[in-house]
Structure 1
Protein backbone atom coordinates (compact mmCIF):
# COMPACT_ATOMS: atom_id res chain seq x y z
CA UNK A 1 0.00 0.00 0.00
CA UNK A 2 1.24 3.47 -0.77
CA UNK A 3 1.90 5.88 2.06
CA UNK A 4 -0.90 8.41 2.74
CA UNK A 5 1.26 11.17 1.31
CA UNK A 6 1.49 9.55 -2.12
CA UNK A 7 -1.78 7.66 -2.35
CA UNK A 8 -4.14 7.96 -5.30
CA UNK A 9 -7.43 8.57 -3.54
CA UNK A 10 -10.45 6.44 -4.43
CA UNK A 11 -13.92 7.95 -4.47
CA UNK A 12 -15.92 4.75 -4.35
CA UNK A 13 -14.11 2.07 -2.32
CA UNK A 14 -16.15 0.77 0.62
CA UNK A 15 -14.80 1.10 4.14
CA UNK A 16 -15.99 -1.32 6.83
CA UNK A 17 -16.43 -0.89 10.56
CA UNK A 18 -17.13 2.86 10.84
CA UNK A 19 -19.58 3.69 13.65
CA UNK A 20 -18.97 7.39 14.34
CA UNK A 21 -18.78 10.12 11.68
CA UNK A 22 -17.33 13.54 12.56
CA UNK A 23 -18.16 16.16 9.93
CA UNK A 24 -16.88 19.71 9.58
CA UNK A 25 -19.42 22.43 8.88
CA UNK A 26 -18.30 25.43 6.73
CA UNK A 27 -17.01 24.15 3.40
CA UNK A 28 -17.97 20.54 4.11
CA UNK A 29 -21.66 20.36 5.05
CA UNK A 30 -22.36 24.11 4.84
CA UNK A 31 -21.43 26.20 1.80
CA UNK A 32 -18.94 28.95 2.61
CA UNK A 33 -19.18 31.05 -0.58
CA UNK A 34 -16.64 33.55 0.73
CA UNK A 35 -18.40 34.26 4.03
CA UNK A 36 -15.28 33.59 6.12
CA UNK A 37 -13.27 36.09 4.08
CA UNK A 38 -16.04 38.68 4.29
CA UNK A 39 -16.20 38.27 8.06
CA UNK A 40 -12.41 38.48 8.28
CA UNK A 41 -12.58 41.82 6.48
CA UNK A 42 -14.72 43.12 9.34
CA UNK A 43 -12.16 41.86 11.86
CA UNK A 44 -9.30 43.50 9.99
CA UNK A 45 -11.26 46.76 9.80
CA UNK A 46 -11.85 46.60 13.56
CA UNK A 47 -8.09 46.31 14.12
CA UNK A 48 -7.35 49.17 11.71
CA UNK A 49 -5.62 47.14 9.00
CA UNK A 50 -5.87 49.16 5.78
CA UNK A 51 -7.73 47.48 2.88
CA UNK A 52 -5.35 46.88 -0.02
CA UNK A 53 -2.25 47.02 2.16
CA UNK A 54 0.47 44.32 2.04
CA UNK A 55 -0.31 43.59 5.70
CA UNK A 56 -3.95 42.91 4.90
CA UNK A 57 -3.05 40.70 1.93
CA UNK A 58 -0.64 38.69 4.06
CA UNK A 59 -3.24 38.24 6.77
CA UNK A 60 -5.84 37.08 4.27
CA UNK A 61 -3.37 34.55 2.86
CA UNK A 62 -2.84 33.21 6.37
CA UNK A 63 -6.61 32.98 6.95
CA UNK A 64 -6.96 30.96 3.74
CA UNK A 65 -4.06 28.67 4.64
CA UNK A 66 -5.46 27.97 8.12
CA UNK A 67 -9.10 27.42 7.19
CA UNK A 68 -10.53 24.94 9.69
CA UNK A 69 -8.50 26.23 12.62
CA UNK A 70 -10.17 27.82 15.63
CA UNK A 71 -10.72 31.44 14.65
CA UNK A 72 -9.49 32.86 17.96
CA UNK A 73 -6.22 30.95 17.42
CA UNK A 74 -5.89 32.50 13.96
CA UNK A 75 -6.40 35.98 15.38
CA UNK A 76 -3.90 35.39 18.17
CA UNK A 77 -1.33 34.65 15.51
CA UNK A 78 -2.28 37.63 13.35
CA UNK A 79 -2.75 40.33 15.97
CA UNK A 80 -0.30 39.44 18.73
CA UNK A 81 -1.95 40.34 22.01
CA UNK A 82 -4.91 38.60 23.60
CA UNK A 83 -6.89 41.84 23.76
CA UNK A 84 -6.45 42.51 20.03
CA UNK A 85 -7.19 38.89 19.15
CA UNK A 86 -10.43 38.96 21.12
CA UNK A 87 -11.49 42.24 19.52
CA UNK A 88 -10.88 40.74 16.10
CA UNK A 89 -12.69 37.54 17.00
CA UNK A 90 -15.73 39.42 18.31
CA UNK A 91 -15.90 41.48 15.11
CA UNK A 92 -15.52 38.33 12.99
CA UNK A 93 -18.25 36.41 14.82
CA UNK A 94 -20.63 39.38 14.69
CA UNK A 95 -20.05 39.85 10.97
CA UNK A 96 -20.43 36.15 10.19
CA UNK A 97 -23.59 35.98 12.30
CA UNK A 98 -25.03 38.94 10.39
CA UNK A 99 -24.33 37.18 7.09
CA UNK A 100 -26.09 34.07 8.37
CA UNK A 101 -29.03 36.15 9.59
CA UNK A 102 -29.23 37.71 6.12
CA UNK A 103 -29.95 34.27 4.69
CA UNK A 104 -26.52 33.71 3.13
CA UNK A 105 -25.86 30.37 4.83
CA UNK A 106 -26.84 27.32 2.77
CA UNK A 107 -26.13 23.59 2.94
CA UNK A 108 -23.75 21.85 0.57
CA UNK A 109 -26.01 20.10 -1.98
CA UNK A 110 -26.84 16.64 -0.70
CA UNK A 111 -25.34 17.22 2.75
CA UNK A 112 -28.54 16.78 4.75
CA UNK A 113 -29.51 13.72 2.74
CA UNK A 114 -26.07 12.26 3.37
CA UNK A 115 -26.35 12.81 7.12
CA UNK A 116 -29.79 11.24 7.14
CA UNK A 117 -28.47 8.25 5.18
CA UNK A 118 -25.62 7.82 7.67
CA UNK A 119 -28.03 7.91 10.59
CA UNK A 120 -30.43 5.51 8.87
CA UNK A 121 -27.48 3.15 8.47
CA UNK A 122 -26.97 3.11 12.23
CA UNK A 123 -24.03 5.53 12.41
CA UNK A 124 -23.72 8.39 14.89
CA UNK A 125 -22.97 11.77 13.30
CA UNK A 126 -21.32 14.78 14.98
CA UNK A 127 -20.88 18.25 13.46
CA UNK A 128 -17.78 20.26 14.39
CA UNK A 129 -16.56 23.78 13.63
CA UNK A 130 -13.74 26.23 14.20
CA UNK A 131 -16.30 28.96 14.92
CA UNK A 132 -17.47 30.01 18.37
CA UNK A 133 -20.61 28.37 19.75
CA UNK A 134 -22.77 31.44 19.07
CA UNK A 135 -21.93 31.29 15.36
CA UNK A 136 -22.31 27.54 15.16
CA UNK A 137 -25.76 27.80 16.73
CA UNK A 138 -26.76 30.59 14.35
CA UNK A 139 -25.85 28.37 11.38
CA UNK A 140 -27.71 25.38 12.83
CA UNK A 141 -30.80 27.52 13.40
CA UNK A 142 -30.65 29.07 9.93
CA UNK A 143 -30.52 25.64 8.30
CA UNK A 144 -33.00 23.97 10.64
CA UNK A 145 -30.32 21.48 11.71
CA UNK A 146 -30.70 21.63 15.50
CA UNK A 147 -32.01 18.06 15.65
CA UNK A 148 -30.14 16.69 12.65
CA UNK A 149 -27.23 15.10 14.53
CA UNK A 150 -26.48 13.59 17.93
CA UNK A 151 -23.94 16.22 18.96
CA UNK A 152 -22.39 19.49 17.78
CA UNK A 153 -18.99 20.67 18.97
CA UNK A 154 -16.94 23.85 18.81
CA UNK A 155 -13.40 24.34 20.18
CA UNK A 156 -14.68 25.57 23.55
CA UNK A 157 -16.45 22.22 24.02
CA UNK A 158 -13.10 20.43 23.78
CA UNK A 159 -10.98 22.45 26.17
CA UNK A 160 -10.47 25.41 23.83
CA UNK A 161 -8.19 23.75 21.30
CA UNK A 162 -9.58 23.51 17.79
CA UNK A 163 -8.06 21.93 14.73
CA UNK A 164 -5.47 20.74 13.82
CA UNK A 165 -5.49 19.27 17.32
CA UNK A 166 -7.48 16.02 17.65
CA UNK A 167 -9.48 17.26 20.63
CA UNK A 168 -12.90 17.72 19.01
CA UNK A 169 -12.72 14.31 17.32
CA UNK A 170 -11.75 12.66 20.58
CA UNK A 171 -14.44 14.59 22.45
CA UNK A 172 -17.00 13.26 19.97
CA UNK A 173 -15.65 9.74 20.59
CA UNK A 174 -15.88 10.11 24.37
CA UNK A 175 -19.20 11.94 24.60
CA UNK A 176 -21.21 9.83 22.18
CA UNK A 177 -19.89 6.42 23.17
CA UNK A 178 -20.75 5.37 19.63
CA UNK A 179 -17.46 3.61 18.90
CA UNK A 180 -15.28 1.20 20.84
CA UNK A 181 -12.08 2.07 19.00
CA UNK A 182 -10.86 5.30 17.37
CA UNK A 183 -10.38 3.30 14.17
CA UNK A 184 -14.20 3.14 13.97
CA UNK A 185 -14.29 6.93 13.47
CA UNK A 186 -14.58 8.68 10.10
CA UNK A 187 -13.49 12.33 9.94
CA UNK A 188 -14.48 14.42 6.92
CA UNK A 189 -13.59 18.02 6.11
CA UNK A 190 -12.58 20.49 3.42
CA UNK A 191 -9.25 21.62 4.89
CA UNK A 192 -5.86 20.12 5.64
CA UNK A 193 -6.50 20.93 9.31
CA UNK A 194 -9.67 18.83 9.29
CA UNK A 195 -7.65 15.96 7.87
CA UNK A 196 -4.78 16.44 10.30
CA UNK A 197 -7.13 16.42 13.28
CA UNK A 198 -8.55 13.08 12.12
CA UNK A 199 -5.11 11.58 11.54
CA UNK A 200 -3.91 12.71 14.96
CA UNK A 201 -7.02 11.21 16.57
CA UNK A 202 -6.28 7.84 14.97
CA UNK A 203 -9.49 7.77 12.92
CA UNK A 204 -9.83 4.84 10.56
CA UNK A 205 -11.15 6.96 7.70
CA UNK A 206 -10.02 10.54 7.10
CA UNK A 207 -11.49 12.12 3.98
CA UNK A 208 -11.03 15.49 2.36
CA UNK A 209 -13.86 16.95 0.31
CA UNK A 210 -13.43 19.21 -2.73
CA UNK A 211 -16.17 21.69 -1.81
CA UNK A 212 -14.16 24.11 0.29
CA UNK A 213 -10.83 25.68 1.04
CA UNK A 214 -8.24 23.05 0.11
CA UNK A 215 -7.63 20.41 -2.54
CA UNK A 216 -6.06 17.03 -3.19
CA UNK A 217 -2.45 18.10 -2.68
CA UNK A 218 -3.16 19.55 0.76
CA UNK A 219 -5.23 16.51 1.74
CA UNK A 220 -2.44 14.16 0.67
CA UNK A 221 0.20 16.11 2.59
CA UNK A 222 -1.98 15.98 5.73
CA UNK A 223 -2.42 12.20 5.47
CA UNK A 224 -5.96 11.73 4.12
CA UNK A 225 -7.09 8.20 3.35
CA UNK A 226 -9.70 9.33 0.82
CA UNK A 227 -10.83 12.37 -1.16
CA UNK A 228 -14.46 12.86 -2.21
CA UNK A 229 -16.05 15.37 -4.53
CA UNK A 230 -18.42 16.23 -1.68
CA UNK A 231 -19.85 14.90 1.54
CA UNK A 232 -22.80 13.64 -0.51
CA UNK A 233 -20.59 10.75 -1.59
CA UNK A 234 -19.82 9.56 1.93
CA UNK A 235 -22.72 7.11 2.34
CA UNK A 236 -21.67 5.28 -0.84
CA UNK A 237 -18.07 5.14 0.40
CA UNK A 238 -19.35 3.53 3.60
CA UNK A 239 -21.53 1.07 1.74
CA UNK A 240 -24.85 2.65 2.71
Structure 2
Protein backbone atom coordinates (compact mmCIF):
# COMPACT_ATOMS: atom_id res chain seq x y z
CA UNK A 1 0.00 0.00 0.00
CA UNK A 2 1.55 3.31 -1.15
CA UNK A 3 2.99 5.28 1.76
CA UNK A 4 0.59 3.59 4.16
CA UNK A 5 -2.22 5.63 2.61
CA UNK A 6 -5.63 3.94 2.80
CA UNK A 7 -7.79 6.77 1.44
CA UNK A 8 -7.41 9.61 -1.07
CA UNK A 9 -10.01 12.38 -0.82
CA UNK A 10 -10.00 14.20 -4.15
CA UNK A 11 -11.76 17.43 -5.01
CA UNK A 12 -13.79 17.54 -8.21
CA UNK A 13 -13.98 20.91 -10.08
CA UNK A 14 -10.44 22.09 -10.81
CA UNK A 15 -8.78 18.92 -9.53
CA UNK A 16 -10.30 15.92 -11.30
CA UNK A 17 -12.87 17.83 -13.39
CA UNK A 18 -12.27 20.74 -15.77
CA UNK A 19 -15.30 23.03 -15.83
CA UNK A 20 -13.93 25.84 -18.00
CA UNK A 21 -15.05 28.72 -15.78
CA UNK A 22 -18.57 27.40 -15.20
CA UNK A 23 -18.54 28.63 -11.59
CA UNK A 24 -18.17 32.24 -12.74
CA UNK A 25 -20.88 31.82 -15.37
CA UNK A 26 -23.29 30.23 -12.90
CA UNK A 27 -22.51 32.87 -10.28
CA UNK A 28 -23.29 35.62 -12.78
CA UNK A 29 -26.64 33.99 -13.52
CA UNK A 30 -27.41 33.66 -9.81
CA UNK A 31 -26.58 37.27 -8.97
CA UNK A 32 -28.68 38.45 -11.89
CA UNK A 33 -31.56 36.30 -10.62
CA UNK A 34 -31.64 38.05 -7.23
CA UNK A 35 -31.22 41.55 -8.67
CA UNK A 36 -27.84 42.61 -7.33
CA UNK A 37 -26.78 46.02 -8.73
CA UNK A 38 -24.05 45.78 -11.37
CA UNK A 39 -21.71 48.04 -9.41
CA UNK A 40 -21.53 45.41 -6.63
CA UNK A 41 -20.71 42.54 -8.96
CA UNK A 42 -16.89 42.94 -9.23
CA UNK A 43 -16.38 42.82 -5.45
CA UNK A 44 -18.70 39.83 -5.15
CA UNK A 45 -16.94 37.96 -7.93
CA UNK A 46 -13.60 38.65 -6.25
CA UNK A 47 -14.98 37.07 -3.06
CA UNK A 48 -16.09 34.03 -5.06
CA UNK A 49 -12.58 33.61 -6.50
CA UNK A 50 -10.98 33.90 -3.05
CA UNK A 51 -13.33 31.34 -1.52
CA UNK A 52 -13.23 28.73 -4.28
CA UNK A 53 -13.74 25.31 -2.73
CA UNK A 54 -16.08 26.52 -0.01
CA UNK A 55 -19.70 25.38 0.17
CA UNK A 56 -21.63 27.61 -2.22
CA UNK A 57 -24.44 28.49 0.20
CA UNK A 58 -21.83 29.73 2.67
CA UNK A 59 -20.35 31.95 -0.06
CA UNK A 60 -23.74 33.46 -0.84
CA UNK A 61 -24.51 33.98 2.86
CA UNK A 62 -21.34 36.05 3.14
CA UNK A 63 -22.60 38.30 0.34
CA UNK A 64 -26.39 38.46 0.79
CA UNK A 65 -29.13 38.27 3.38
CA UNK A 66 -30.45 34.78 4.10
CA UNK A 67 -33.48 34.96 1.82
CA UNK A 68 -31.53 36.20 -1.18
CA UNK A 69 -28.65 33.84 -0.40
CA UNK A 70 -31.01 30.87 -0.60
CA UNK A 71 -32.50 32.13 -3.88
CA UNK A 72 -29.04 32.78 -5.33
CA UNK A 73 -27.80 29.36 -4.28
CA UNK A 74 -30.73 27.64 -5.98
CA UNK A 75 -30.20 29.73 -9.11
CA UNK A 76 -26.47 28.94 -9.06
CA UNK A 77 -27.01 25.19 -8.76
CA UNK A 78 -29.59 25.24 -11.55
CA UNK A 79 -27.36 27.27 -13.87
CA UNK A 80 -24.30 25.13 -13.14
CA UNK A 81 -26.21 21.88 -13.65
CA UNK A 82 -27.58 23.17 -16.97
CA UNK A 83 -24.07 24.10 -18.13
CA UNK A 84 -22.77 20.68 -17.11
CA UNK A 85 -25.61 19.05 -19.03
CA UNK A 86 -24.68 21.04 -22.13
CA UNK A 87 -21.30 19.30 -22.26
CA UNK A 88 -19.19 22.15 -20.84
CA UNK A 89 -17.74 19.89 -18.13
CA UNK A 90 -14.87 17.52 -18.95
CA UNK A 91 -12.37 15.28 -17.19
CA UNK A 92 -8.95 16.63 -16.25
CA UNK A 93 -6.93 14.52 -18.73
CA UNK A 94 -6.00 11.23 -17.09
CA UNK A 95 -8.01 11.79 -13.90
CA UNK A 96 -10.25 8.73 -14.24
CA UNK A 97 -7.28 6.48 -14.96
CA UNK A 98 -5.46 7.92 -11.95
CA UNK A 99 -8.42 7.06 -9.74
CA UNK A 100 -8.43 3.53 -11.12
CA UNK A 101 -4.68 3.21 -10.47
CA UNK A 102 -5.10 4.33 -6.87
CA UNK A 103 -7.88 1.84 -6.26
CA UNK A 104 -5.89 -0.94 -7.94
CA UNK A 105 -3.10 -0.16 -5.46
CA UNK A 106 -5.50 -0.72 -2.56
CA UNK A 107 -6.26 2.95 -1.89
CA UNK A 108 -9.90 3.90 -1.49
CA UNK A 109 -11.00 7.08 -3.28
CA UNK A 110 -13.62 9.63 -2.23
CA UNK A 111 -14.64 12.45 -4.56
CA UNK A 112 -15.70 15.59 -2.69
CA UNK A 113 -17.33 18.82 -3.82
CA UNK A 114 -18.69 22.12 -2.56
CA UNK A 115 -21.78 21.69 -4.75
CA UNK A 116 -25.10 20.11 -3.81
CA UNK A 117 -25.56 16.34 -4.12
CA UNK A 118 -27.82 16.92 -7.13
CA UNK A 119 -25.21 18.97 -8.98
CA UNK A 120 -22.49 16.50 -8.10
CA UNK A 121 -24.66 13.73 -9.52
CA UNK A 122 -25.09 15.69 -12.76
CA UNK A 123 -21.31 16.02 -13.08
CA UNK A 124 -20.78 12.31 -12.42
CA UNK A 125 -23.45 11.42 -14.98
CA UNK A 126 -22.03 13.79 -17.60
CA UNK A 127 -18.60 12.17 -17.27
CA UNK A 128 -19.83 8.61 -16.90
CA UNK A 129 -18.20 8.47 -13.48
CA UNK A 130 -20.87 6.75 -11.41
CA UNK A 131 -19.08 3.91 -9.62
CA UNK A 132 -15.62 5.26 -10.45
CA UNK A 133 -14.83 6.14 -6.82
CA UNK A 134 -15.61 4.32 -3.59
CA UNK A 135 -17.57 7.29 -2.25
CA UNK A 136 -18.86 10.72 -3.33
CA UNK A 137 -19.55 13.47 -0.81
CA UNK A 138 -20.97 16.98 -0.65
CA UNK A 139 -21.34 19.33 2.34
CA UNK A 140 -25.02 18.38 2.65
CA UNK A 141 -23.97 14.78 3.37
CA UNK A 142 -21.14 15.57 5.77
CA UNK A 143 -22.30 18.50 7.92
CA UNK A 144 -20.11 21.40 6.85
CA UNK A 145 -18.16 22.13 3.70
CA UNK A 146 -14.57 23.24 3.33
CA UNK A 147 -12.45 24.58 4.98
CA UNK A 148 -13.91 22.43 7.76
CA UNK A 149 -12.68 18.83 7.95
CA UNK A 150 -16.15 17.26 7.88
CA UNK A 151 -16.09 15.75 4.38
CA UNK A 152 -12.66 14.18 4.91
CA UNK A 153 -13.65 12.78 8.29
CA UNK A 154 -16.98 11.51 6.94
CA UNK A 155 -15.06 9.63 4.25
CA UNK A 156 -12.77 8.18 6.92
CA UNK A 157 -15.75 6.91 8.90
CA UNK A 158 -17.80 5.60 5.98
CA UNK A 159 -14.89 3.80 4.36
CA UNK A 160 -13.51 2.31 7.56
CA UNK A 161 -10.07 3.96 7.46
CA UNK A 162 -8.01 3.03 10.52
CA UNK A 163 -6.19 6.34 11.08
CA UNK A 164 -6.55 9.89 9.73
CA UNK A 165 -2.80 9.85 9.14
CA UNK A 166 -3.45 7.26 6.43
CA UNK A 167 -5.35 9.82 4.37
CA UNK A 168 -4.24 11.94 1.41
CA UNK A 169 -6.24 15.06 0.50
CA UNK A 170 -5.81 16.74 -2.88
CA UNK A 171 -7.44 19.88 -4.27
CA UNK A 172 -6.91 23.04 -6.28
CA UNK A 173 -7.85 25.61 -3.62
CA UNK A 174 -6.58 26.87 -0.28
CA UNK A 175 -9.82 25.61 1.29
CA UNK A 176 -9.10 22.08 0.08
CA UNK A 177 -5.71 22.32 1.74
CA UNK A 178 -7.14 23.67 5.00
CA UNK A 179 -9.75 20.92 5.21
CA UNK A 180 -7.04 18.29 4.80
CA UNK A 181 -4.82 19.83 7.44
CA UNK A 182 -7.69 20.19 9.90
CA UNK A 183 -8.66 16.55 9.36
CA UNK A 184 -5.14 15.41 10.24
CA UNK A 185 -4.27 13.91 6.84
CA UNK A 186 -0.59 13.07 6.46
CA UNK A 187 -0.53 14.01 2.77
CA UNK A 188 -2.11 17.33 1.79
CA UNK A 189 -1.38 18.35 -1.79
CA UNK A 190 -2.45 21.17 -4.05
CA UNK A 191 -2.80 20.86 -7.81
CA UNK A 192 -2.14 23.59 -10.36
CA UNK A 193 -5.07 22.79 -12.66
CA UNK A 194 -7.71 24.93 -10.98
CA UNK A 195 -8.50 28.10 -9.07
CA UNK A 196 -5.41 28.82 -6.98
CA UNK A 197 -1.75 29.01 -7.93
CA UNK A 198 1.30 27.42 -6.32
CA UNK A 199 1.99 30.33 -3.95
CA UNK A 200 -1.57 30.34 -2.60
CA UNK A 201 -1.62 26.56 -2.17
CA UNK A 202 1.75 26.43 -0.41
CA UNK A 203 0.82 29.48 1.64
CA UNK A 204 -2.25 27.64 2.89
CA UNK A 205 0.00 24.83 4.11
CA UNK A 206 0.07 22.30 1.27
CA UNK A 207 2.95 19.88 1.72
CA UNK A 208 3.15 19.31 -2.02
CA UNK A 209 2.12 21.16 -5.16
CA UNK A 210 1.46 18.89 -8.14
CA UNK A 211 1.15 19.81 -11.78
CA UNK A 212 -1.99 17.66 -11.93
CA UNK A 213 -3.82 14.85 -10.16
CA UNK A 214 -1.91 12.44 -12.41
CA UNK A 215 1.21 13.02 -10.29
CA UNK A 216 -0.44 11.66 -7.13
CA UNK A 217 0.34 7.93 -7.59
CA UNK A 218 4.03 8.73 -8.05
CA UNK A 219 4.01 10.96 -4.96
CA UNK A 220 2.45 8.23 -2.84
CA UNK A 221 4.76 5.58 -4.29
CA UNK A 222 7.75 7.77 -3.40
CA UNK A 223 6.56 8.02 0.20
CA UNK A 224 6.27 4.23 0.31
CA UNK A 225 9.84 3.82 -0.89
CA UNK A 226 11.09 6.29 1.74
CA UNK A 227 9.62 4.29 4.60
1:127-169: per-residue Cα shift (whole Å, max 9, x none)? 000001110000000001011011100001112x100000000
Scaled by the length of structure 1, the TM-score of the pair is 0.90
CA distance in 1: counterparts of 2:49 and 2:173, whole angstroms: 10
Correspondence for 1:212: 194
Aligned to 2:46: 61
Q: Is the 8 A contact 1:32 1:212 kept in 2?
A: no
SS in 1 for 2:49: helix
Alignment match of 1:185 (pick from 155, 158, 167) = 167
Tell me how far apart the structure 1 counterparts of residues 76 and 179 of structure 2 sit (CA, whole Å).
Answer: 23
Q: Does 1:73 align with 2:55?
A: no
CA RMSD of aligned residues (A): 1.0
* Structure-2 separation of matches of 1:89 and 1:233: 34
For residue 106 of structure 2, what is the aligned residue in structure 1?
Answer: 122
Determine the structure 2 residue equivalent to 1:162. Answer: 145
The alpha-carbon deviation at position 50 of structure 1 amounts to: 3.5
Note the C-alpha offset of 1:217. 1.3
Q: Which TM-score applies when normalising by structure 2? A: 0.95
- C-alpha distance after superposition, 1:79-121 (max 9, x if no partner): 1x22111100000000001101101110001100100100110
Deviations 1:45-90 (A, max 9, x none): 0111234x2x1000000000000000000000011x2211110000
Aligned with residue 233 of structure 1, among 211, 215, 221: 215
Between Structure 1 and Structure 2, how many residues are aligned?
A: 221
Which residue, out of 32, 48, 51, partners 1:45? 32
SS in 2 for 1:16: helix
Aligned to 1:9: none
Question: Which sections of structure 1, spanning at least 5 residues, go unmatched?
Answer: 1-14
Higher helix share: 2
Shifted more, 42-51 versus 220-229: the winner is: 42-51
